[in-house]
Amino acid sequence: MHNLIVMKGKFETLIDQDTPVLVDFYADWCGPCQMMAPVLKEVADEMGGKVKIIKIDVDKNQPIAQRFGVRSIPTLILFKKGKILENKAGVMTKRDLTQMIERAS
């Protein structure tokens, strides 16, 4: 899975980039989150260098989830240069995700 990484390192460094960064707040036990995984992989594969996709397990990273007001999962937040561009809760289609990323590019 290239362009699809699991949370490592400093979060601020990851989101403070010129390239849009899509953060997937998820949990392993979450059914809808599991449905999003192949969609996110397809988007990462097809969009290549246009976006970085980061997965954050809310159970292991509660302070970050709380900081961004994540109350339900999956929650997808799109960042660019450290700023939130879009924040969507729930399952999204590949088309909706692609359009969200294109708007940020």
Positions marked catalytic? 30, 33
Residue 49, CA distances (Å) to 9, 20, 29, 71, 74 in order: 20, 9, 30, 30, 23
What whole-number distance in Å separates Cα of residue 21 and Cα of residue 42? 15
**6 residue type, one letter:** V
User: Can you tell me the distance from the alpha carbon of 48 to that of 34, in angstroms, rounded to the nearest whole number?
Assistant: 22
